[in-house]
Amino acid sequence: MRNPIIYVLIAAAAVGCTVDYPNPNLAGQDVHLTVVHTADLHSRFFPYYFAPGQVDKGLGLVPKTGQSFAVVGGIGRVSTVVKCIRGIYTGPPCDALEPLIGPPAQRSIHVDSGDIFEGAPVFNMFNGEVEMRAMSEIGLTAMALGNHEFDKGAVNFELQYQKFGGFPILAANYTFSDPSDYTQPKLRNLIHDSTIANVGGVKVGIIGLGNLSSIQGIIEGGNSLGVRPIQSTQAITDAVATMRSSVDVLALVSHLGLDEDEGVAAGAASSRDENAQVAIDGVDVIFGGHLHIVLDPPKDLPHVDPTDGHVTGHTVLCHSGAFAKYVGRLDLVIHIADPNVPTDKTGVKAYTYRVIPIDDSIPSDPRMDQLLEPYQLQMNTALNLNQIYAVVPCPLNLAGSCPKTQRNDPDGGDSQLGNLVATAMRLRSGVEADYSLTNSLGIRADFESGPLNLEEMYNVFPFDNTITTMFLSGDETQQMLDFVAARSSERGCRTQAQISGIYFDAMCAGDDKECNDRLGPGRPCAKNIYLGDNCRMPDGSFNGTKCKPLDLYAEYKVAVNDYIAQGGSGFTVLKRNTTKFNTGISLRDALVDFIRTLPNRCEDPSQFTNIVGTTCKDKQGETFDCTNRCNGDAGFTACTDQALYPERYDYRAIACLGPDVQAHDGRIQTFAAATSQ
C-alpha cells in the first residue's frame, strides 16, 4: 500500500537539495561565449569512407599518404569534439585535441541546423530513434527543423521526438494546424519559434527557421504535415520584437539555405520597412544549413541604414558543412551593457571561427559508442553492408587520382551514374517502360573507386524512393522536359533530371527562336526530343533510323521515382496524371539488380592500383598477404593473383564499372546560349 507521507518527504527533500545560484553581474563587461555548430548530419552516425576533393582537403580532410580515401564522420567523434569544447569532458583526449579544437569554453552552447534524419542505413532501419537519442546524449541546446525530419511522415517524427528528444526543435516561420484536431499532426505541441538559454549569466536567444524551398515538395510528396510556411523576414521581425530586449545575444538557427540566409539579411537590411530593419539589426549571428556547404571564414552581413546607406552593425553568417564531416566553432566576445550608462550597448565586439574536420584522428566518445552498439549489432545482423556488387576500377597509371562513377557531368548534361540509375529503372522486370526520368538531386553521391557494397548504395540512395509508372502523352512529355530545361537554367544550365530511352537538348538561355515561338520570349525549353537508345551521333545530330522523334499525340509508358510522381521538385505535370502505379520497387534495389546483369568483369589486374607483389592494401593502408586472403571487410582494393582471391570477394565474378559502362552519351545536351541545333 502506498504511503503518501513518504512522497511528501521525498518531495520536501528534493526541494531542500535544490541550489539556486544567482546570475553573475556582468554589466559593463566583455564576456566570451562559444557556439558549437553542426548541420545536415543526415544519419552519418557511424564512420564511413570518403574520397575528399580539393575543397574538403583544403578544410583538413586529407587521406593518409598513398590513399584516396579518408575515414570520416561518426557521431561518436563529433560528440568527443563537442564535449571537449564545452568542458563536459576533460583530461588526456581533450588535451591532445586542443591544437585542433581549441581550449575548453567557459560559456558554451551547441546548435544544429537540422536534417539529422535520412542519409544512412541506420535511419532506414530505426526511423530516427538513433538520431534523437544521440543528439540528446550530446547535450544539444537547440535545433532548427529540417525538411528531412519528415521523410517518414509527421507521425513518425512526433513519435521519435516524444520518446527520445531531449532538446528544443525550432521553426518560427511555420504555422501548424490545431493539435486538438485529431485528423492533423500534433506538431504545434512539439515545435516552437524560439528558446532562451542562460549561459553563465549570458542570455542567448535562439530563433529557428525551417526550410521553405523544400516544404512544398514535402507536402506534394504525400506527407500531410499540417504545415503552412510564412515569410521568413516577418517571422524574424516578430521574434526579434519579442526577444531582443530580454537577451544579450540573438541567433538564428536556419535550415533555409545559403542564398535564403543572405536574402533574409539583404532583404531586411535594404527594406524601407522599419520593422524589417529592426529584425536584422537585432540578429547577431546566423547558423545555417541545408546546402551542405562550409563558409570559412564566415560571411559578414552588414546592417545598412536605408535612409542614408551607412553601416550600423553586422551579422555573422556561419555554415559548417554536412554528413558529420565537420564541426564549426564560433567564439564571440560580447559586451554586456551597463544599464547605468545610457550610451552603453550590448553587442558582439569580435569573433573567431574554426572548422574542425572529423576524421580518424579523433577518438570516439565511449558513452556514445555504448549507446550505438546495440543498433550497430542489429544492422550487421539484418544488413550485409559489406557485400560487394561491383568494383569501380582504377588503372595503375592513374594511381592517386582514381576515377569515380560520377553523378554529375562536368558539362551539365547526363552523367554516367545518372544513366545507370535511369536505365536500371526503365529495364527493371515489372517496369519495362518506353523511357524513364529521375531528378538529379535524388542521386546523392558518386560511386568512389574500389569495391561497391551495400553501404555505398545507401550513400547514393539514402531515401527509400520507389519506381512509379504512368502513361504520358507526347505533349505531356514535352511539357515535362520544358520544365526540366527551365529548372536547369536556374542552376547554371546543369540538368535537373537523368533519363534513359529518350534524348533531348535543353536550351537554357531563353534566347532560342524555337523556344520563344512556342512558349514566349525568354523561355527555356527542350527541343530535338528523340526516343530510343544510342540516338546521338558523334556530330551531335540524331540517328533517325534507330530513334524516333517525339510524337505529341502518342502515348508513352514512363518510369519515374515516386517523389516526383507526386509533384515533388515542381513536377506538376506528373502530379496531375491519373494513371500512376507505384510498383514498390526501390531505386536502390533496381540499381543493384541491374549492376548484377552487367557483363563487364574485372579480370585484368592492370585495372587496379595498390598492387605490390603478392600483397594488397586496404583503404586504411594496411597490407595483407594475398596467399592468405585480402581482408575484404576492411575495404581492400585488389590482389595481383586473382586465383588466390577469397571466393566471397572474387572480382572476376562481379561487374566492373569502368568508364565505358553507361557513359555520358549526350542523351541530355545543355546549351547556355542558343544554337542552330
Say if residue 351's pLDDT is above 50.
yes
At 515-556, the pLDDT tens digits run: 999 999 999 999 999 999 999 998 888 988 889 999 999 999
Q: What is the pLDDT of residue 189?
A: 83
User: Do the domain assignments include residue 87?
Assistant: no
- Based on the domain organization, do 609 and 586 belong to the same domain? no
Nearest one of 427, 425, 500, 497 to 468, comparing CA atoms: 425
State yes or no: pLDDT of 112 exceeds 90: yes
Cβ atoms of 334 and 316 closer than 8 Å: no
- Pick 276 or 542 by higher pLDDT: 542
Query: What residue spans of 152-248 are helical by DSSP H?
Result: 154-164, 215-220, 232-243
CA distance 621 to 66: 8
Cα 144 from Cα 253, distance rounded (Å): 6
Domain assignment present for 658: no
Does position 79 have pLDDT exceeding 60, yes or no? yes
In the prediction, which pLDDT does 229 show? 76
- Predicted confidence at residue 329, as pLDDT, reads 98
Query: What does the block give as the cell for 242?
Result: 519579442
Residue 604 scores a pLDDT above 70: no
433: pLDDT strictly greater than 50: yes
pLDDT of residue 183: 59
Average pLDDT over residues 606-610: 42
Q: Nearest Cα to 111, choosing from 423, 283, 277, 330?
A: 330
Domain-embedded: residue 348: yes
Q: Specify whether 221 is located in the same domain as 284.
A: yes
Report the alpha-carbon distance of residue 339 to residue 334 in Å, rounded: 15
Domain that holds residue 613: 605-653
Is cis: bond before 524, omega within 30 of 0? no
Share of the chain above pLDDT 70, in %: 81
Asked if residue 322 lies in contact with residue 292, where contact means CB atoms within 8 angstroms, the answer is: yes
Q: How far is CA 191 from CA 175, 206, 239, in A?
A: 10, 13, 15
Average pLDDT over residues 383-400: 69
| Residues above pLDDT 90, as percent of the chain | 56
Among candidate residues 205, 290, 207, 219, the one with its CA nearest the CA of residue 249: 205
Q: In this predicted structure, which of 7-21, 132-146, 350-364, 489-503 has the lowest mean pLDDT?
A: 7-21
pLDDT tens digits for range 294-306? 999 999 988 777 7
**Domains held by the chain: number:** 3
Q: Which helix (H) or strand (E) is 418 found in, with range?
A: helix 416-427
Nearest to 438 by CA among 378, 499, 381, 390: 499
Do 417 and 502 lie in a common domain? yes
Does residue 6 lie in a domain region?
no
HEC assignment per residue over 584-640: EEEHHHHHHHHHHHCCCECCCHHHCCCCECCEEEECCCCEEECCCCCCHHHCECCCC
pLDDT at 213: 72
Whether residues 40 and 125 share a domain: the answer is yes
Q: Which residues pair with 405 in a beta bridge?
A: 447
What is residue 270's three-state secondary structure? helix
User: Is residue 609 domain-shared with residue 628, that is, in the same domain?
Assistant: yes
Q: Model confidence at 77, in pLDDT bands (50, 70, 90)?
A: very high
Q: What is the rounded average pLDDT for all residues in the chain?
A: 83
- Any domain includes 553: yes
Query: Which of 361, 388, 414 delimits the end of a domain?
Result: 361
In whole angstroms, what is the distance from residue 183 CA to residue 101 CA? 48
pLDDT reported for residue 265: 54
Q: Are 391 and 406 in contact (CB under 8 A)?
A: no
List the grid coordinates of 79.
560528440
The reply to whether 258 and 322 lie within a common domain is yes
pLDDT computed for residue 421 by the predictor:
97
Instruction: Give 6's pLDDT tier (boundaries 50, 70, 90).
Output: very low
CA distances (Å), origin 68, targets 62, 386, 453, 620: 9, 19, 17, 10
pLDDT given for residue 1 in this prediction = 36
Contacts of 643 (CB under 8 A, 6+ apart): none
pLDDT tier at 308, thresholds 50, 70, 90: confident
pLDDT tens for 644-666 read 333 334 455 577 888 889 999 99
**Quick one: 587 and 610 in the same domain?**
no
Q: Is 275 in the same domain as 143?
A: yes
Residue 28 within a domain: yes
Domain identity same for 208 and 291: yes
pLDDT in tens, 114-162: 999 988 899 999 999 999 999 999 999 999 999 899 888 888 999 999 9
Cell of 29: 563587461
Partners of residue 32 on adjacent β-strands: 333
Position 182 scores a pLDDT of 63
Q: What is d(CA 554, CA 549) in angstroms, rounded to the nearest whole number?
A: 11
* Whether residue 488 sits in one domain with residue 572: yes
The partner residues of 504 in beta bridges, in order of sequence, read 668
Beta carbons of 535 and 547 less than 8 angstroms apart: yes
- Which residue in this structure is represented by grid cell 539514402? 462
Sequence-distant (6+) residues with CB within 8 A of 419 are 498, 500, 662, 663, 664, 665, 667
Q: What is the DSSP letter of 256?
A: S
| Highest mean pLDDT (candidates 43-52, 407-416, 468-477, 599-608) | 468-477
Asked whether the predicted pLDDT for residue 639 surpasses 50, the reply is no
For residue 178, what pLDDT is reported? 63
207 and 240 together in one domain: yes
The three grid cell numbers given for residue 230, joined into one nine-digit string: 510564412
Q: Which three cell numbers stand for residue 87?
A: 568542458
Confidence band, pLDDT 50/70/90 cuts, at residue 12: very low
User: Is 321 contained in some domain?
Assistant: yes
Q: Residue 268: give its domain's CATH number.
A: 3.60.21.10
Is 277 in contact with 271 (CB distance < 8 Å)? yes
Domain co-membership, 430 together with 502:
yes
Q: Is residue 85 in some structural domain? A: no
**What pLDDT does 556 receive?**
98
Mean pLDDT to the nearest integer, 458-474: 91
CATH number for the domain that contains residue 446: 3.90.780.10
Q: Is the pLDDT of residue 181 over 70?
A: no
Cβ-Cβ contacts under 8 Å for 246 (sequence gap 6 or more) = 196, 203, 205
Quick check: 86 and 33 in contact, CB under 8 A? no
User: Does pLDDT of 609 surpass 80?
Assistant: no
